[in-house]
Amino acid sequence: MADIGYFEAWRMWLDGRSTLGNDMFGLPMLWWGRTGKIAAFVSGMTILLDIAGPERLASFADWLHALIQALWSRALVYSFSVGALVLAFGWVAIWDIVWSIDIPVPGLNVLKGVVVVVLLCLAPLAVAGAVLLVDKVCAKLPAVFAHPRVVHIRVVAAVLLIVGFHFDLLAS
């Protein structure tokens, strides 16, 4: 892979040649494009949240919080009746995946058993943590977009959109 400069990358792109397969500043062009896509996505989401406004965001946050609370209380009730069935299917799926790994290591069967148990315990905790994180973030969003200095967020979102699109285009 050749290490190309910024202007050389634009020259290649304008000549109709792909910049993929080259590095720019030590980073593959593929990653410049992916970074641009992520930046444009974050910018677009920020712009959409700003358009929605603090009132709608607060309404959505309240609705989401009520939904999570309702599902959480039901999850505690249903976990005793459905939990064994879910645990059995999860056990079989994880067991099958872990046991398909074939590495010649002494004591691997014990290690595989530990991996299965850990995955069965951590997966529900990860899902619960993600749900609670989304709930907390959604509760804070209305305050962010109601702040008097929200113009800074708008400027950063616009710059991210332009820069992200730019690098995504350059990596094509």
Question: What string of pLDDT tens digits covers the 172 residues of the chain?
Answer: 688 889 999 999 999 999 998 899 988 999 999 999 999 999 999 999 999 999 999 999 999 999 888 877 766 655 555 555 566 666 666 666 666 666 665 666 676 667 767 766 676 677 777 888 888 999 999 999 998 888 999 999 999 999 999 999 999 8
Nearest to 157 by CA among 76, 43, 36, 70: 43
Q: Return the residue matching tokens 């009746």.
A: 81
pLDDT of residue 69: 84
Domain segments of the chain as ranges = 3-171
- 13 exposed, middle or buried (CB, 10 Å; 0-12, 13-18, 19+)? middle
Residues whose CB falls within 8 Å of the CB of residue 152, separated by 6 or more in sequence, listed in order = none
| DSSP letter assigned to residue 147 | S
Q: Are 165 and 4 in contact (CB under 8 A)?
A: no
